[in-house]
Amino acid sequence: MRREGSLQRWWTREGSAYAFLAMYALLFLTFIAVPVFAAIALSFTFFDAIQPPYFIGLRNYITLLTQDDIFMRYVLPNTVQFAVIVGPGGYALAFLLAWMLAHLPKGPRTIFALILYSPSMTAGVAMVVVWRTLFSGDQIGYLNSLLLNWGLIQEPIQWLHSPQYLMSVMILVTLWSSMGIGFLAMLAGILDISPDLYEAAALDGMSSIWQEIFYITIPSMKPQMLFGAVMAIVGAFQAGAIGVMLSGSNPTPRYAGQLIVNHIEDYGFFRYEMGYAAAVSVVLLLMVLFFTRIFNRLFATAE
């Protein structure tokens, strides 16, 4: 009886909290935990989506690292280059714009925040309608037309079908649409900082804006900075549709815009080599975890 009474008191005190967490836990297990463990398990098998998978050990990983020339020569370097530029670049740009908006009055700040955030919600539509028109390879494309009128080029440039320019265009478009939820988190974090901290610092002799940013703003919003960093990393490494949508082909011309997500899609949904695609996805997961751990150490808050 005493044990039942203590259990009832515990449920009365904490049961509502666990009830609220139950739906999140169910969704997390269904859409994150189970797929991740399934991908890890399938990565050690040969699975063509028709016959049952059978265990082949590390063969998929050995093939990926020693025999897959497309992955080692194009996909992996492209992904690293894209992530190294877009991840930190989009992250720094998001913080800079959030810091600038925080100094505006509430009305203009809300309008500009919505304008900056909207491309991340409509990136696919805007990519097709706006960017493919801007970088069209004929003479009526906006950029080619402008350069021809100025006499800077003699003939139209195939921006979206030339391996020389495709990656640069992909980076530009991704940076333009990178003001997502991480940007909003940074803006909220800056607005949550007490003005008293800046007033006290000014009384102590701090007069530089950069000193305020590095000694007050960033240390006061480490959780938001960490969240923004994680979102930037995940977004950079998981980008895949950009090159395909811009160039209109998969694989992209001479694999110039081929990223690791495109490689997974190629083997998983076109060649039906699900086990090999799972191995590539596990490598992608490890890359994301590695960089996430780095930023976690940079922005870890003291207990």
Average pLDDT over residues 247-272: 88
Please give the tally of structural domains in the chain: 1
Distance between CA atoms of 261 and 256, rounded to whole angstroms? 14
Please, what is the average pLDDT of the chain? Answer: 84
Contacts of 250-253 with CB under 8 Å at 24 or more apart are: 252/166, 253/161, 253/162, 253/163, 253/166
Give residue 203's pLDDT: 83
d(CA 91, CA 178) in angstroms, rounded, equals: 8
Confidence at 115, pLDDT banded by 50, 70, 90: confident
Residue 122: pLDDT band (50, 70, 90) is: low
Instruction: Tell me: pLDDT of 234 over 50.
Output: yes
Quick check: is 98 in a domain? yes
What pLDDT, on a 0 to 100 scale, did the predictor assign at position 299? 67
Of 224, 113, 241, which Cα lies nearest the Cα of 179? 113
Q: What is the mean pLDDT of residues 218-240?
A: 83
Domain of residue 262: give its range.
69-299
For residue 189, the domain's CATH number is 1.10.3720.10
189 in any annotated domain: yes
**What CA dihedral angle connects 65, 71, 76 and 82, to 10 degrees?**
-170
Q: Is residue 218 part of a domain?
A: yes
**Mean pLDDT, residues 75-95 taken together:** 89
**133 domain residue, yes or no:** yes
* N-term to C-term CA, the chain: 40
Q: What is the mean pLDDT of residues 278-294?
A: 89
Q: What is the pLDDT of residue 302?
A: 41
Report the alpha-carbon distance of residue 271 to residue 20 in Å, rounded: 42
Q: Which two tokens stand for residue 83?
A: 């992530």
Residue 8 lies in a domain: no
For range 213-238, the mean pLDDT:
84
Q: Give how far the C-alpha of residue 197 lies from the chain's centroid of Cα atoms, to the nearest Å.
A: 32
**pLDDT(253) > 90:** no
What is the pTM for the complete model shown?
Answer: 0.81
In this model, does residue 283 exceed pLDDT 90? Answer: yes
Range of lowest pLDDT (107-121, 122-136, 222-236, 262-276): 122-136
CB 113 within 8 A of CB 172: no
Residue 7 forms part of a structural domain: no
Q: What is the pLDDT of residue 182?
A: 84
The model's pLDDT over 17-50, given as tens digits with 9 standing for 90+, comes to 777 888 888 888 898 889 999 999 999 999 988 8
3 domain-assigned: no
- Does 38 reside within a domain? no
